Amino acid sequence: MEVFLHIDLNLFMVFICIIMFFSSRSMNERQMVHLKIFRMLILSNLLLLVLESITWLLDGYVSSYSGILYYIVTILLYLITPLPAAFWALFVNYQLFHDSKRLKQEAILFGIPIAISSLITLITPWTGIWFTIDSANIYQRGAWYPLLALISFWPMLYASGSILIHRKKISKKLLVLMLMFMAPPFIGFIVQTQAYGTTVLWSSITISIFLVHSNLQSTQSHLDHLTGLNNRRLLDAFLTDRFKMTKNRQPLSCIMLDINHFKSINDKLGHVAGDEALKDASAILKDSIRKGDFLARFGGDEFVILAEIAEESTLKDMSNRIRDNVLRFNNAQDRPYTLEFSIGYAVYNPDSGWDKNEFIAHVDALMYENKTSAAG
């Protein structure tokens, strides 16, 4: 009965993994590296759930080939065991830095102990380092099993440290979610290492993956794929809501920004440099706004900031702060381009009768006046 309870739980988790694996294919194709890592995380965990279920069926079952089959399945299980934590750490790395070179460096960092673990796994049938299977086809952990547990679990600890150190690079919502990812596997790890015969680790990781997957699905349509800022769709929804609040005299202000000479950056340096310029501009704007301000990529090289500001002088101060931060960036960074914004800003007047589109068009016109005057 206990065996079938374990298998039923695993099969349920396998079903969840299959749904997540195929539904993740529909997410934004531009985030392919990010999604490939996440799908490999799902796939590796799915395989472990299946292999673990097979070991429960084989344990104590004696036939002509059951011993060999048990060794093969257990070896595959141990070969894959370190992968989910490593894929999670790589997923975290890409979320924090969006840097392919850094991602490859960390893949090597995690790959070395995994390679060592794989070698030990392959010689375990002769050495019994990780596990043994006796003549009655009964599995027993080897004396060095805790080392495998450490190799398999440390990338998650590493990822959690990276999240805490670089927490300012991501939203608070994503920060909390990624830190929470550790909780179910940590509990499962403690239970499984202390209570022999208990197998809940891969099920607990499935729960963590599901939490992240649900968040990806819910936020994917609201984020700009390149900069990570709010996108035009969310901007429209947010602006509609904020316009309703202006009827109660809740202040609303808007700043629109455009990167000067952005086409020249693309034409002379290529679209890769253009993408980096957009990312740099986004980072500068994030550092320039206040908590509670709404920042979105409007389209192309244009950005919008919405804020609860009633005084135009306060908007001017924010505009000046952005220009100062741009100047500091250009002086501090060694880029093949310099950044410069054209900026338009205005406080919404409910008595104007403008709807949200007319107000945005007004601020957009002010921005282009700024661009024209600067060019002149």
Whether residue 169 sits in one domain with residue 113: yes
Whether residue 301 sits in one domain with residue 367: yes
pLDDT of residue 28: 44
Whether residue 153 sits in one domain with residue 182: yes
Does residue 225 form part of some domain? no
Question: Cβ contacts of residue 235 below 8 Å, gap of 6+?
Answer: 294, 296, 298, 304, 306
Here the CATH number for the domain that contains residue 165 is 1.20.1070
C-alpha to C-alpha distances, 26 to 105, 148, 220, 287, nearest whole angstrom: 29, 35, 10, 32
pLDDT in tens, 253-301: 999 999 998 999 998 989 889 999 999 999 999 999 988 899 999 989 9
Rounded to an integer, the average pLDDT of 148-164 is 92
**Spatial separation of the C-alpha atoms in residues 172 and 176, rounded to whole Å:** 6
How would residue 32 be classed by pLDDT, with cut points 50, 70 and 90? Answer: low
Whether residue 347 sits in one domain with residue 246: yes
Whether residue 290 sits in one domain with residue 264: yes
CB-neighbour burial class of residue 2 (10 A; exposed 0-12, middle 13-18, buried 19+): exposed
Beta bridge partners of 256: 304, 344
CB-neighbour burial class of residue 185 (10 A; exposed 0-12, middle 13-18, buried 19+): buried
Whether residue 212 sits in one domain with residue 249: no
Count of domains for the chain: 2
Whether residue 75 sits in one domain with residue 111: yes
pLDDT in tens, 2-28: 555 567 778 888 899 898 888 766 544
Name the least confident of 128-142, 158-172, 260-274, 301-315: 158-172
pLDDT in tens, 53-106: 899 889 888 888 999 999 999 999 999 999 999 999 999 998 888 777 888 999
Whether residue 274 sits in one domain with residue 199: no
pLDDT in tens, 312-371: 999 999 999 999 999 999 998 889 999 999 999 999 988 888 888 999 999 999 999 998
Name the least confident of 178-182, 215-219, 303-307: 215-219
Measured in whole angstroms, how far is the alpha carbon of residue 274 from the centre of its chain? 23
Whether residue 321 sits in one domain with residue 216: no
Domain closes at, from 220, 247, 270:
220
Q: Is the Cβ–Cβ distance between 256 and 345 less than 8 Å?
A: yes
Up-side HSE of residue 144: CA atoms within 13 Å toward CB?
11
Residue range(s) defining the domain that contains residue 357: 232-375
How would residue 29 be classed by pLDDT, with cut points 50, 70 and 90? Answer: very low
Helices (H), 195-295: 201-220, 232-245, 262-269, 271-288
With a threshold of 0.95, does the pTM exceed it? no
Whether residue 201 sits in one domain with residue 239: no
Domain closes at, from 195, 220, 245:
220
Does residue 226 form part of some domain? no
Whether residue 245 sits in one domain with residue 209: no
Rg over alpha carbons for the chain, rounded to the nearest Å, is 27
pLDDT in tens, 180-207: 888 888 887 777 666 655 667 788 899 9
**Spatial separation of the C-alpha atoms in residues 126 and 110, rounded to whole Å:** 26
pLDDT of residue 31: 43
Whether residue 80 sits in one domain with residue 39: yes
